[in-house]
Each structure stands twice: as structure tokens, then as C-alpha cells.
Amino acid sequence: MDHISNAEKAESITSLDSTIRKCENALAQMTQKGANTTLLTKRLNALYIGLALLENIWNEKPHQYSREEIAEARKILTGLFPSIQNIYAKSKAGSPQRTLLERRIKSLERAVQAIDDLLNK
């Protein structure tokens, strides 16, 4: 992960922040409606962990997550790829949605790589 430029690092962190905000808003709406929020809560926690590990590697910020939490986050994050890639495949080339999805996929891939790097130490 050393070959990633500072601009790409910032883009990945911004993308994960955006994804987290989107999930937080969805969680608030689902909670208001009384819907089951278990899956979204797990995904949101995995996103928090992914972001924390990127910031740990790139900005030397400490994190408070256990290896077990990190390993579970990896499973959840990798489980997001098929649905995101499916939406990406259906999006129009050059559209803002496609650009957002490209950034989201890259940021999630980098978060999973950060998790792998940490777990393989």
C-alpha cells in the first residue's frame, strides 16, 4: 500500500466517510420506521473499522479494534463487493454514479488490503 499517492489516499478516506454517512442516514431512517437494522449496523461497524485501519496505516492514527472484530469486518466488507459491482455494471459510463461506485470499490479494496496487512503481521 506504499505506492498509493496522497491524493488517492485522501480520495479513499473521503469515499469511506461518504459511505459511512450514507449508512448512518439509512440507519436513522430504518430505526424511525422500526425496521430490522441488524445487517446495516454490522455493515456500518465494518466500514468504521476499515476507515480506522486506513487511517492507522496512512496517518498513524491508533485504533481500538481487536483482531476478531477486524477479521469479522473483513468478511462483511468483502461481502459488499458483489452487489456494488452489480450496480456498477448497470451504471452508465461517465455517469456520476459510476464515478462514485469506482471510488467506493477502490476504497473498500484498500480497506480490505489494510485489514489483510494487519492480520498477516
Tell whether the torsion through CA atoms of 81, 87, 91 and 94 is positive or negative.
Answer: negative
Q: What is the pLDDT of residues 56-98, one digit of tens each?
A: 999 999 999 999 999 999 999 999 999 999 999 999 999 999 9
Q: What is the pLDDT of residues 2-49, one digit of tens each?
A: 689 999 999 999 999 999 999 999 999 999 999 999 999 999 999 999
Q: What is the pLDDT of residue 49?
A: 97
pTM of the model: 0.94
> Which among 2, 120, 113 is positioned nearest to 58, based on CA atoms?
2
Residue spans of the domains in the chain: they are 6-119
Q: What is the pLDDT of residue 2?
A: 66
Q: Report the first-to-last Cα separation within the chain, whole angstroms.
A: 14
